[in-house]
Chains A and B, each alone.
Chain A
Amino acid sequence: MSKHTDQPDMKRREFLGKTAIAATAATVAPGVMLTVANAGSDEGVSSDTRWGMLIDTNKCADGCAACVDACNKENGIDILSKPEDQSDEMWNAQRPQWIRKVKLKDKQTGVVTNLPMMCQHCEHPPCEDVCPTGASLKRADGIVMVDRHTCIGCRYCMMACPYKARSFIHSNIAEQVVNSPRGKGCVESCNMCAPRIDGGATTTACQDACMKDGHQAILFGDMKDPDSAISKALKEKSSRQIRADLELNTGVRYTDV
């Protein structure tokens, strides 16, 4: 081992994957192979798209939480109420939070930066890596999310996420919104408003709210489309991935941070 890193070895994975496919091809009858191949060409999200976000931290205003409020409304987080037997402190620490405001201060210069922090939609998500049931998943279009039908609530993904982006539902939920089912014992996080995007929308709830308040700090779009606004902006200005050293290739990028 010449290279010491805690990163997954992608070449090894690719090799193993190809070996598995080759083995399947060798053992399964040709007719069956054909069916399997066709199943992959179903309509649905495609890897020709990679949804991403660019956040201009210069435009992100101190004290503004429009994106957080919009996210809470879109995903039914605002209709949750504190369980009777829980303290305020515990409730505030444990209530679901898909997006949160973070304030950074450079101790030397005193410069303050505000930014929204949420699931960074990694290309190689550690949450997906550690999930024992396959509930934590990355869709073909780059959105990282939880399939609650298979989530067993072990919270391994919460421990693995370097961005502290995931929440766990600790108690029974009385009411949900249609687009965001939610129940006791499952983990959840930002899914880039997947139901909206699948329905044909081109903006997320947080972006809409930021735009409406006149800040325009959040730009959402397809990073693989060279003509999209986000691709052009990424090309024009230098941006950063948070914890780029982890080599996760995040789908959420920040400028001026």
Chain B
Amino acid sequence: MRSSTGIKRFAGLLVGGLFAALAMTAHSGSAVTQGSKAASMDACVALTADMRRNHMDYLQHDRHASVRKGIRDIKNSLSGCVDCHASKDDQGNYKPVTAEGEFCEACHNYTAVNVACFQCHRKTPQEMTSSVTTGGNKLGLMLDDGEAPALSAEEFEQLHAKILED
């Protein structure tokens, strides 16, 4: 698996660039799904360009830490992605992130990269009704972390525009 990562990354870079251009024209500079929690927020856990390029590595690294070492208050969590990026349908129910046109599916379908995460992982945010207590920031967002990118929505627009120019 690991040996193909380099090739995948390179391919991802090419296709990602193309997709970025497409997405920009289609959604006027926004990478997030309309109506999701992320659409109302300024920043993800890292800059959008970084997330586009490296999200698979972040998740792969942190899954090892959380499953084998029990470190669950990590910055990059898959459930964090889902909590923020899932959008709701007309009835107010969450749509799976793997449904057509939704956050994960939109890119992964375009790039023909199979996303296997959700064969096992939950595809919609879970309403917290159980007695489950999870320490730290549930969303895995760097809300009060010193490293948090303090960029406003406008600044992100500018950043997107700059990436497109480059």
Instruction: Please give the residue numbers on chain A whose beta carbons come within 8 Å of chain B beta carbons, in ascending order.
Output: 42-45, 73-74, 137, 139-141, 145, 147-149, 172-173, 175-179, 181-184, 186, 194-201, 205, 208
Against A, the Cβ 8 Å flags (1 = close, 0 = not) of B109-152 are 00000000001111000100011111110000000000000000
Q: Contacts A73-B130, A208-B131; is A198 near B72 (CB within 8 Å)?
A: yes
Contact A200 B130 (CB under 8 A): no
Whether B2 is near chain A, meaning CB under 8 Å from some CB there, is no
Q: Does B162 contact A (CB under 8 A)?
A: no
In the complex, whether B70 has a CB less than 8 A from a CB of chain A is yes
The answer to whether residues A176 and B122 also contact, given A139-B70, A195-B72 and a CB cut-off of 8 A, is yes
Given B122, B131, B135, which contacts A178 in the complex, CB threshold below 8 Å?
A: B122
Contact sample, A vs B, 30 pairs, CB 8 Å cutoff: A42-B65, A42-B71, A44-B69, A44-B71, A74-B132, A139-B69, A141-B70, A148-B120, A149-B64, A172-B119, A176-B120, A176-B121, A177-B130, A178-B79, A178-B126, A179-B132, A179-B134, A181-B120, A181-B122, A183-B119, A194-B70, A195-B132, A195-B134, A196-B133, A198-B66, A198-B71, A199-B136, A200-B135, A201-B133, A208-B131
Helix, strand, loop or mixed for chain B's interface? loop
B71 near A43 (CB under 8 angstroms)? yes
The interface residues of chain A lying within 8 Å CB-to-CB of B126 are: 177-178
Bound-complex Cα distance A198 to B71 (A): 7
B95 proximal to A (CB < 8 A): no
Q: How many A-B residue pairs have CB under 8 A?
A: 72
A149-B121 Cα distance, complex, nearest whole Å: 11
Residues from chain B with a CB closer than 8 A to the CB of A149 are: 63-64, 67
Contact between chains at A44 and B70 (CB < 8 Å): yes
- Known contacts A45-B69, A177-B122, A182-B120; 5 additional CB pairs below 8 A are A43-B69, A44-B65, A139-B68, A199-B132, A208-B131
With a cutoff of 8 Å between Cβ atoms, the chain A residues found around residue B64 in the complex are 149
Tell me whether B120 and A199 are in contact (CB under 8 A).
no
Residue of B71, B122, B130, B131 touching A175 (CB-CB under 8 A): B122
A173–B121 Cα gap in the complex (Å)? Answer: 10
**Number of B interface residues in the complex (CB < 8 A):** 23
* Cβ distance A93 to chain B, nearest Cβ, rounded Å: 23
| Chain B residues whose CB sits within 8 angstroms of the CB of A177 once the complex forms | 122, 126, 130
- Asked if A198 and B120 sit within 8 Å, CB to CB, the answer is no
* Residue from B67, B121, B132, B134 whose CB has the most chain A CB atoms within 10 Å: B67
CB distance from A112 to the nearest CB of B (A): 32
* B120 partner residues in chain A, CB cutoff 8 A: 148, 173, 176, 181-183, 186
Nearest Cβ on chain B to A182's Cβ, whole angstroms: 6
- Whether B70 pairs with A45 at a CB distance below 8 angstroms is yes
Point out the residues of chain A lying under 8 angstroms from B121, CB to CB.
176, 181
> Complex formed: what's the CA distance from A137 to B69 in Å?
11
Given A176-B121, A177-B122, A181-B120: A147 in contact with B67 (beta carbons within 8 A)? yes
Bound form: Cα–Cα A137–B74 in Å: 21
**A45 to B65 Cα, complex, angstroms:** 10
Minimum Cβ distance to chain A for residue B62 (Å): 12
List, in ascending order, chain A residues with CB within 8 A of B63's CB.
149
Q: Closest chain B residue to A185 by CB distance? A: B119
State how many angstroms separate the Cβ of B80 from the closest Cβ of chain A: 10
**A43–B135 CA distance with the chains assembled, in angstroms:** 15
Question: A residues within 8 A CB of B69?
Answer: 42-45, 139-140
Query: Cα distance A145–B69 when bound, in Å?
Result: 12
Q: Which of B37-74 contact A (CB under 8 A)?
A: 63-72
Taking the closest CB of chain A, its distance from the CB of B136, in whole angstroms, is 8
Known A-B contacts A139-B70, A178-B122; the reply to A196 vs B132 at CB < 8 A is: yes
The distance from the CB of A211 to the nearest CB of chain B, in whole angstroms, is 12
CB-based nearest A residue for B69: A44
User: Which of A141, A196, A199, A201 has most chain B Cβ within 10 Å?
Assistant: A199
